[in-house]
Amino acid sequence: MESIDVLMLCPMISYLEQELDRRFNVLKLWTAPEKSQFIKDHSATIRAIAGDGGHGADAEMIEALPRLEIVSSFSVGVDKIDLEKCREKGIRVTYTPDVLTDEVADLAIGLIMAVLRRLCESDRYVRSGKWKKGDFKLTTKFTGKTVGIIGLGRIGMAIAKRAEAFNCPICYYSRTEKPDTKYKYYPSVLELASNCEILVVACSLTAETRHIVNREVMNALGPKGVLINIGRGPHIDEPELVSALVEGRLGGAGLDVYEHEPEVPEELFGLENVVLLPHVGTATVETRKAMADLVVGNLEAHFSNKPLLTPLV
């Protein structure tokens, strides 16, 4: 498949880059001094795009590539891809579900523990020598706390299962009630936030779920409530999150994602009830390799006229 031009939108793990290079003629967009000119120069030959959660194919890019057949994303979140435009033009879209579910769910539990038990703050306490002057303050128990989950898809369900092992009552919000679960359903995020102690964002980002956690929701979660976001930054109204935390209207937050990554509001840096991660939900060697294999496998399948492994469109 040497002669197939694949536009790679951003640097990804070197394993993926190597595997793509072995099979395709990979055009690396980020190395081009002028990106739109680069796309123009190769528009007659590019047949595939490899992107990730932060770099997708928008309408303009899709329109600029008349021979585009497939977008293969190194992510489960596809909010950066114009799916409607792809449907309209018959362009296939693949993503990397399932292989990353455990990893993201594990991290959600890690964030809950880190916030409630102040893991990062107590680590800093030891390193700075403060322990020699006195014991660390008491923290908050996780076991038994009510966990509310926004979005009971694959990842939401995996978080629920893990939280159940901590004897946590589980409730959730999603567009429709799931018939096959015993977890308590609330028909609005506001009701969910009013009835849980830890609120976890685990839905996908769409026009409907943008700022699904707003000021009202944060106030309902309250000064003892903890907000966890392993979804996408724009799920939360970030300036409102900052003021809720600074003013003490929200008890704490564990965040892996932000509205304008890699920018993180600096007001959060001084808050010990906040744990900040650099979007690492899927970032282990094992999971990123499995994701990379799907990206490559989907492209190979497409260009060999075989069924796609994980098609979305």
Active site residues: 232, 261, 279
Least Å distance, CB 129 to ligand GLV, is 37
Query: Shortest Cβ contact with ligand GLV: which residue?
Result: 77
The tokens of 30 are what? 């980020």
- 282 vs 298, which CB is nearer to ligand GLV? 282
Compute the least distance from the CB of residue 208 to ligand GLV, in Å.
18
Q: What is the CA radius of gyration of the chain?
A: 21
In the complex, least distance from residue 282 CB atom to ligand GLV, rounded to whole angstroms: 5
CB of 252 to ligand GLV, least distance (A): 22
Instruction: Name the residue type at position 49.
Output: I
Residue nearer to ligand GLV on the CB measure, 273 or 298 = 298
265 preceded by a cis bond (ω within 30 of 0)? no
Q: Which is nearer to ligand GLV, 62 or 100 (CB)?
A: 100
Of the pair 120, 290, the CB lying nearest ligand GLV is at: 290
Of 297, 292, 285, whose CA–CA distance to 11 is shortest? 292
Closest distance of CB 232 from ligand GLV, Å: 7
The nearer residue to ligand GLV, 80 or 145, going by C-beta atoms, is 80
Which residues form the interface with ligand GLV (CB under 6 A)?
53, 75-77, 100, 281-282
